[in-house]
Amino acid sequence: METEWLQIKNQIERATTFEAIRESRQQMPETVQRWETEAMGLDDKLSLLNRWHDTLMRRLIEQELKDMERDGWGTPAVPFCWLLLGSSGRSEATLNPDQDHALIYKSGAPDDVRTFFQELAERVSRSLADAGYPYCEGFVMAANPRWNHELDDWRDVLQLYLDYPSWDNIRYLLMAADMRGLFGNLELAGELQSWFAEQVPSRSYLFWQAADRSLSNPIALTFFNQFRTDRWGDHMHQVNIKEGGYLQIVKATRLWSMSVGIAANSTEERIAKLQHLQVWSREWAEQVREAFRCLIGYRIWGNYVDPAQLSEETAASLKQALKTAKQLQKWTSKQFRKTGEYGG
């Protein structure tokens, strides 16, 4: 595995043109298909795929910084860090992630530095789109000034969201919980993450709201434990893995982790820490972990699965994963709904 990764990494780092970087992005599906044929394990596939995405994005940022210097913008006057959010922030990106990112830079910067980082964000966002990473439909990108601040302003913005917990503000806080430093001064990302993890546990209204909203996202199982499939459209008779189970586990695990000040990014790391802190029992943590791994294994290839193409054994495994997602969803709602605190 490591030998192949070094070949991929060297190809990207040696790329001198945008076309060469984009070509590496285009090679992903065929390469992952080969890994599948070779029966590569899920952990290795996800690790390689996310390192591949990370390295491509870093290379694009490096290229844009060089182009800005060439165009007369100079170099960054203060340390900064490019942040990943969403599935990329959790190191759970699959073959076709969209853009979810932000930018943080050292406090005390003059206005012309703000202009520099806004320009950088817009350039990188365009390059990512051209390379095959679609724009985020919700504009959760560093090119949006909402997601591009100096460190002190980031604290002020997040504090505002905490103090005025409308549903939109809570959504922004949940997104921020997945932040991971990708490029630049990673200490800036770590400082903001640590501060954020300390502020959140006492905000019971945040957990009440998020838990209450979670019930509005049904699991892809019927009352009789049959697959709930799309009834029309391009995916008629298929199961929506992302909206019907995967996201429920991701969101619930994130909420439990935030409630006890866990600053971990990935869902599996959060599950492990919830078990370590004895918030979840070993048996329950293992059950949720297995369900998560089942669902993200399907998601590598897309958000939908045709149950008619599954064997009896794999269909049963998928149903069990969705049942666990439903149990976790209900338990999370019950635990946080009234007090905003977990019930132990």
Range of the domain at 180: 2-202
Residue 303 Cα to chain centre, angstroms: 15
Q: What is the pLDDT along the chain (344 residues), one digit of tens a residue?
A: 788 889 999 999 999 899 999 999 999 999 999 999 999 999 999 999 999 999 999 999 999 999 999 999 999 999 999 999 999 999 999 999 999 999 999 998 888 899 999 999 999 999 999 999 999 999 999 999 999 999 999 999 999 999 998 999 999 999 999 999 999 999 999 999 999 999 999 888 889 888 888 777 899 999 888 999 999 999 999 999 999 999 999 999 999 999 999 989 999 999 999 999 999 999 999 999 999 999 999 999 999 999 999 999 999 999 999 999 999 999 999 888 765 454 44
Answer yes or no: is 225 within a domain.
Answer: yes
- For the record, the structure tokens of 62 come out as 């490096």
Provide the phi-psi class of 173: left if phi over 0, else alpha when psi is between -120 and 50, else beta: alpha
Q: Are 250 and 267 in contact (CB under 8 A)?
A: yes
Looking at residue 135, its pLDDT comes to 97
Number of domain units in the chain? 2
246 and 305 share a domain?
yes
Looking at residue 338, its pLDDT comes to 60
Q: Are 176 and 194 in contact (CB under 8 A)?
A: no
Contacts 24+ apart (CB under 8 A), 72-77: 73/116, 73/119, 74/116, 76/105, 76/113, 76/116, 76/117, 76/120, 77/109, 77/110, 77/112, 77/113, 77/116
Looking at residue 344, its pLDDT comes to 42
242 and 179 share a domain?
no
Sign of torsion over alpha carbons 234, 236, 237, 243: positive
Answer yes or no: is 160 within a domain.
Answer: yes
Looking at residue 41, its pLDDT comes to 94
d(CA 222, CA 325): 13
**Residue after which a domain boundary falls, among 202, 230, 261:** 202
Answer yes or no: is 342 within a domain.
Answer: no
- For the record, the structure tokens of 305 come out as 């699965």
Sign of torsion over alpha carbons 225, 285, 167, 177: negative
User: Number of C-alpha atoms within 13 angstroms, CB side, residue 313?
Assistant: 0
**Residue after which a domain boundary falls, among 134, 169, 202:** 202
Looking at residue 342, its pLDDT comes to 47
Please tell me the pTM assigned to this model: 0.94
Other C-beta atoms lying within 10 Å of the C-beta of residue 175: 17
d(CA 101, CA 181): 10
Place of tokens 């990494």: 9
180 and 269 share a domain?
no
Answer yes or no: is 343 within a domain.
Answer: no
d(CA 299, CA 290): 14
| Residues 91-115: tens digit of each pLDDT | 999 999 999 999 999 998 888 899 9
Q: Choose among 156, 47, 139, 62: nearest CA to 102.
A: 139
38 and 180 share a domain?
yes
| Residues 264-309: tens digit of each pLDDT | 999 999 999 999 999 999 999 999 999 999 999 999 999 999 999 9
**Residue after which a domain boundary falls, among 186, 202, 218:** 202
Looking at residue 205, its pLDDT comes to 86
Residue 159 Cα to chain centre, angstroms: 22
d(CA 33, CA 218): 31
Measured CA distances, 53 to 57, 123, 163, 271 (Å): 6, 18, 35, 24
Residue 3 Cα to chain centre, angstroms: 27
Domain of 46, CATH number, reads: 3.30.460.10
Answer yes or no: is 344 within a domain.
Answer: no
